Structure 1
Amino acid sequence: MKVELEADKCVASGQCVLAAMDVFDQDDDGVAVLLEQEIGDELLDDVKEAVAVCPAAAIRLVEQ
């Protein structure tokens, strides 16, 4: 699976980092940063949670 992040939509809530800290981080302004674009099954549930809790709907999963 591939993770896509629209950083310009990000509202810096940090929910994605709490849900999937191996995939997301935040820059100095709190805007989400994608650490891993390609994820395996071991991170899929965490990223699904991040997608669900993102208040700006800035994250999506794309099947390859």
Structure 2
Amino acid sequence: MHIKADTGVCVGSGQCVLTEPAVFDQDDDGIVVLLTDHPDGQTAAQARDAVTLCPSRALSILQE
């Protein structure tokens, strides 16, 4: 699993960070920052949930 973040679309709601802080963070403007783009195990499951919760659809999952 590979996570992609489109920072141009991100609105800074922070749902991703609240859902999986081991994968997502926010910069000073509130825009998503990926801490890892290849989560695994339980972290991957939570990251997948974060992608579905993103209100701006700035996050996506690419299968490898």
Structure 1: unaligned runs, 5 residues or longer = none
Displacement of 1:2: 0.6
How does the TM-score come out when normalised to structure 1? Answer: 0.93
Matched AA of 2:36: E
Provide the aligned C-alpha RMSD in A: 0.8
Secondary structure at the counterpart of residue 8 of structure 2: helix
Partner of 1:40: 40
Moved more, 13-22 or 45-54: 45-54
TM-score (norm 2): 0.93
1:31 maps onto 2:31 in alignment: yes
> Which residue identity is paired with 2:35?
L
Structure with greater helix percent: 1
Give the aligned length. Answer: 64
Tell me whether 39-48 or 11-20 shows the greater mean CA deviation. Answer: 39-48
